[in-house]
Structure 1
Amino acid sequence: MAKKFFIILLVVFVCACTSNLEHSEYRSLNNGIWTMKDTLRFSFANVDSLTRRNIFINVRNDNSYEFSNLFLITAMESPKGEIVIDTLEFEMALPDGSWLGKGTGSIKENKLWFRENVVFPDSGVYNFKISHAMRKNGSVGGIQELKGITDIGLQIEKTQSP
């Protein structure tokens, strides 16, 4: 009986270690408030230039988040200094107001697609920046203190082989 348990445990451990996860990093926001001037920075290096990867932005929010969507501005800088800037919109809640994402209690985590099948052609350090671009309807100026976003993360995974 103990031998079977050990074998099952070993199989689970081996399967868990074959994850495609290459990089995962989070930045916590001070008291769940993301100020407009806070640009979150992530860096990663030592990626081979042949493997395709998927990039995700992970967002943790609590019930004090007032919106059903989230606008972000991202900038990804290659080791050669080339910068790609994107403005993104993600749904955070259903039309009935219930949160999307996983988690129990007041914190929900969303794994949001940023880019898929990306190849990093250059060796060296890649820098990634994220800032929010939220505005109230009809307002030109952005929201200075966005409440309810507790953490932002960057996750890079190798793509599944066909």
Structure 2
Amino acid sequence: MKKKQFLVWLIAFFIFGCEDDHLIQKVFEFPRNAWDVEKKTFCEFNIVSPDQPYDLVLLVNSNAIYPYQNLYIRYCLEGEEVSESAMIELQLFDKKTGKPLGYGWGDTKLYQFSLLSNYIFKKTGVYRFQLEHVMRQKVLLGIERVVFRIKPTKLNKNQ
């Protein structure tokens, strides 16, 4: 099992880790692969380049004991003149075939979701990102970790 997890993270590193342009990366690890809604998942970060568009990305790492095809989350972004929040559905498995939509071999899969694209922070300063699952179960089994990333938006040369 540990060997499979290592392989998944190695693949994830090559797929996502080679993108060294992320400004912020916060990893939320869940002991015993159980995301307890009571466990507060948040991070604070500093924006020094307002007017630069950013992409806010969420990576979800789940395993075979996760019992659902989707994951409902609520996120909140707060800071200088900013208050963004939303509840969204993250689709982990194809609705018709049941096949995972993530990357990886074996029981562990990695999924990438865009929370906000081309987001512009209006001012420099400290911002806070908070994340929680809003599934019916208080303790959500099968979620190993969640990674929050902020990276500058890559603009096309034609823009």
| TM-score of the superposed pair, with normalisation by structure 1 | 0.79
Relative to structure 1, is the Cα distance of residues 25 and 18 closer, same or farther in structure 2, using a 3 angstrom cutoff? closer
CA-based RMSD of the aligned residues comes to: 1.8
In structure 1, the residue corresponding to 2:25 is in which secondary structure?
strand
Relative to structure 1, is the Cα distance of residues 47 and 105 closer, same or farther in structure 2, using a 3 angstrom cutoff? farther
Measure the CA separation in 1 of the matches of 2:48 and 2:64.
37
Deviation at 1:79, TM superposition (A): 3.6
Contact 2:47 2:127 in 1 (8 A): no
**AA matched with 1:67:** Y
**AA matched with 2:139:** E
In structure 2, the residue corresponding to 1:31 is in which secondary structure?
helix
Measure the CA separation in 1 of the matches of 2:59 and 2:18.
21
Contact 1:20 1:159 in 2 (8 A): no
Deviation at 1:17, TM superposition (A): 7.9
Number of corresponding residues? 139
Q: Percent identity between the aligned chains?
A: 22
Instruction: Name the structure 2 match of 1:121.
Output: 122
Instruction: Name the structure 2 match of 1:90.
Output: 90
Higher strand share: 2
In structure 1, the residue corresponding to 2:47 is in which secondary structure?
coil
Among 133, 141, 148, the residue aligned to 1:154: 148
Instruction: Name the structure 1 match of 2:67.
Output: 66
**AA matched with 2:23:** E
Deviation at 1:42, TM superposition (A): 1.6
Deviation at 1:18, TM superposition (A): 7.7
**AA matched with 1:89:** E
Contact 2:28 2:147 in 1 (8 A): yes
| TM-score of the superposed pair, with normalisation by structure 2 | 0.80
**AA matched with 1:93:** F
For structure 2, the residue ranges without an aligned partner over 5 or more in a row are 1-16
Instruction: Name the structure 1 match of 2:76.
Output: 75
Measure the CA separation in 2 of the matches of 1:79 and 1:150.
32
Contact 1:49 1:122 in 2 (8 A): yes
Relative to structure 1, is the Cα distance of residues 118 and 94 closer, same or farther in structure 2, using a 3 angstrom cutoff? same
Deviation at 1:22, TM superposition (A): 1.9
Instruction: Name the structure 1 match of 2:44.
Output: 43
Measure the CA separation in 2 of the matches of 1:123 and 1:148.
37
Measure the CA separation in 1 of the matches of 2:92 and 2:44.
26
For structure 1, the residue ranges without an aligned partner over 5 or more in a row are 1-15, 136-142
